Structure 1
Amino acid sequence: MLVALIVLTTLVPPGAPYRDARVLDVALVGVSAVCLIWRQVRPLTVIFATSAMLVLSSAIGFPPSFMQWPAWISLFTCYSLLGLRPRTLAALAAGSAVGGYILLDRSTAGPQELVWVTACFLAATVGGDTARTRRTAAEAALRRAAIEARERALDAERIVAQERRLLAGELHDALGHAVNVMVMQAGVARRVFDDNPQFAREALGHIETVGRGALDELDHMLQILHPVSDGADVLLADSATPDLTDLTDLAGQVRAAGRELELELNLGDIEVSARGARTLHRVVQEAVTNALRHTSSGPIRVGLSQEGTDVRLEIINDQRGHAAPATGRGLINMRERVLLEGGRFQAGPVDDSFRVLAVIPARADLP
């Protein structure tokens, strides 16, 4: 633009009543055009400078035909970048330049010139404001897109974290219980091996059965974490999805380990979803495992019943002579499982016993 303005100023004669271009005129055009380099950084300063040079060129008798363009471009920049107050100052600067041009120009401004000036003023202000609006909208859209992308990333992280917690809970509850029962049965078999080899053989058989079940649980978990090669989703098979009827087998494993477990079940009156049944089974499994781990004697009582629209599960074991278990991964897993079902969970000492209480909604209509 600088080169074009200087060439036009030098080669195109202005005609009467203006004088021919001189070095000062070319310098004014050049400086006005060079000022546009800083129009993005200091737009107000540039509009004042280009407007002042437009008035000065009119005062020395140089036509405004070339000098006006830097001023209009500066005005456009102010309206595209600045707020209301700076834009008002820029409009005043441009208006003052127009007024100075009309007063000092050697030619009388007619209707055609006034229409041209008005059109240029409107083009600079309205066009700049439109550009500012579009840029603001584009920036807002980019910010919204960035916020949505962050929210999607956070949602994905939360889902992954929740899945990891659920899988960790499954491994802890299923394998932890199995290993604990195996250790107890192995200890019983070792102690009675000489005096009661038949009971020891039965205990070893229980260890084998529980161990195979634990391996099945682990295999199903690994299939979930690493699906088969054909890409099909791997779901827990029926054998890996415990329900309330499996509590009898669990009681048998505990009794084989030398501990008394009393079951009070009213399965015929209980209406609960498959997921709810799985939750209740895991709570019983973990609570019994804790009882076996933290106490060496005394009965363990498991009661399950439906009370209105809720299913109530209570596990109590004799705690006399033993410290109450600390809040660990097992109690946390049980609490999270029950809360995910929309239920209530309590665990703590009651008199001389330790009680685990879980209440979940009965949802027979859900899978």
Structure 2
Amino acid sequence: MRFWLPAALAAGSLVFALATPAEPPYRDFDAAGLCIGLAGALCLAWIQSAPLPVLAAVCAILTGNAAAGYPVVFVQWLAWIALFGCFALHGDLTRRAAAAALAGLAVVAYVALDRGPTGASELTGIAMSFLIATVGGDAAHSRRARVVLEERARLARELHDALGHAVNVMVMQAAVGQRVFAENPAFGREALRHVETLGRGALVELDQLLKVLDPRSEAPVATDLAELAARVRAAGRELDLDDGGVDLPPGGDRALRRIVQEAVTNALRHSASGRIRVRLHQVGDEVRLEVTNEGTGFAEPLPGRGLANMRERARLEGGDLHAGPGLDGFTVRATLPARTRS
């Protein structure tokens, strides 16, 4: 809750007090009454950092306002806002129970000290306000928690897809270099050079993820796929790249590269030989990707993070993805919507 809200409420309390004279049995707003309203509004400036203490302070102000004989019309909303904040910012039952108890005690004190009559309509309004504050606060907390979980899942996908591929290729190149170093030291040194290059690239990827860089600043698809093919070939696997040229929006561009990267990584992980074919073409307003790990004896894929990440990336961009064994190997097929022209 930003400082503009307490400031607006403080200004509102001042305008309300000056523009609305109190009716008997309440006393007119004076300097003390204005100070009570302003203090309650300013308390909300700390609602995000200390919701329970703010609620306690506002409830005490509400009680003091009733004891002093001032109308409650404006001050009551400060208590409901503070109660809403407690439920929105706290998910544990203990703190929520404490917040509800504080609000309940404030209501009891208000009913006991208020100079005006408290009938069924007033009690119904209080009950409805209490319900709206608690239920609305709980809904806001649930939405906030869902957003946090979605963001964590997105970052987990990025770490898995970006760094997982680099580490797998580095392991393969290091193993190849170790096997041939005695007989072909030049090739072994070249493999080590590729390992160093991949390691530096992985550090760059990690730095980009931590800084949450704009996806639009990343390399185009064609350049990225060409570099991917070069890395895989340097690791001793044959990769056939057929890039027909596509036009994707930034989000789709990123999703496509990650899907290709993960599909190739899975091919390297689950087979030691055989050609990997990557086909990328655009047909009308649809971009079609096909990554095939040539070979036989592939089983149906087991549920795992890599496959789930690919499917989720395609889904979030409005496309779909299917993966499974075929006559000529294991194939990942994805479709994504192309960039729309205005």
Q: Same fold (TM over 0.5)?
A: yes
Query: Does structure 2 retain, via aligned residues, the 8 Å contact 1:299–1:317?
Result: yes
Aligned to 2:334: 358
Aligned residue for 1:195, secondary structure, equals coil
TM-score scaled to structure 1, two decimals? 0.58
Take 2:140 and 2:242, find their aligned partners in 1: how far apart are those partners?
A: 47
Aligned to 1:176: 164
Size of the aligned set, in residue pairs, is: 227
Query: Does structure 2 retain, via aligned residues, the 8 Å contact 1:338–1:358?
Result: yes
Unpaired runs of at least 5, structure 1: 1-126, 225-233
Aligned to 1:332: 308
Aligned to 1:313: 289
Q: CA deviation at 1:139?
A: 1.5
Matched, 1:220 2:208: yes
Q: CA deviation at 1:219?
A: 2.0
Take 2:208 and 2:222, find their aligned partners in 1: how far apart are those partners?
A: 20
Matches within 5 A, 1:102-141: 131-141=119-129
Take 2:168 and 2:175, find their aligned partners in 1: how far apart are those partners?
A: 11
Query: Does structure 2 retain, via aligned residues, the 8 Å contact 1:244–1:280?
Result: no
For residues 90-110 of structure 1, the C-alpha deviation after alignment (integer angstroms, 9 at most, x for no partner) is: xxxxxxxxxxxxxxxxxxxxx
Aligned residue for 2:168, secondary structure, equals helix
Take 2:294 and 2:158, find their aligned partners in 1: how far apart are those partners?
A: 26
Take 1:324 and 1:212, find their aligned partners in 2: how far apart are those partners?
A: 35
Aligned to 2:263: 287
Q: CA RMSD in A?
A: 2.1
From 151, 157, 161, the counterpart of 2:149:
161
Query: Does structure 1 retain, via aligned residues, the 8 Å contact 2:157–2:309?
Result: yes
Matches within 5 A, 1:34-73: none
Segments of 4+ in structure 1 off by > 6 A?
none
Q: CA deviation at 1:221?
A: 2.3
From 140, 149, 155, the counterpart of 1:152:
140
Matched, 1:238 2:217: yes
Take 1:175 and 1:161, find their aligned partners in 2: how far apart are those partners?
A: 21
Q: CA deviation at 1:206?
A: 0.7
Query: Does structure 2 retain, via aligned residues, the 8 Å contact 1:178–1:211?
Result: yes
Larger radius of gyration: 1
Query: Does structure 2 retain, via aligned residues, the 8 Å contact 1:244–1:278?
Result: no
Partner amino acid, structure 1, of 2:296: R
CA distance 1:362–1:237, shift in 2 (3 Å): closer
Partner amino acid, structure 1, of 2:279: G
CA distance 1:210–1:314, shift in 2 (3 Å): same
Q: CA deviation at 1:133?
A: 2.1
Aligned to 2:249: 273
CA distance 1:206–1:186, shift in 2 (3 Å): same
Take 1:364 and 1:272, find their aligned partners in 2: how far apart are those partners?
A: 8
Aligned to 2:75: none
Query: Does structure 1 retain, via aligned residues, the 8 Å contact 2:216–2:250?
Result: no
Aligned to 2:181: 193
Take 2:320 and 2:134, find their aligned partners in 1: how far apart are those partners?
A: 39
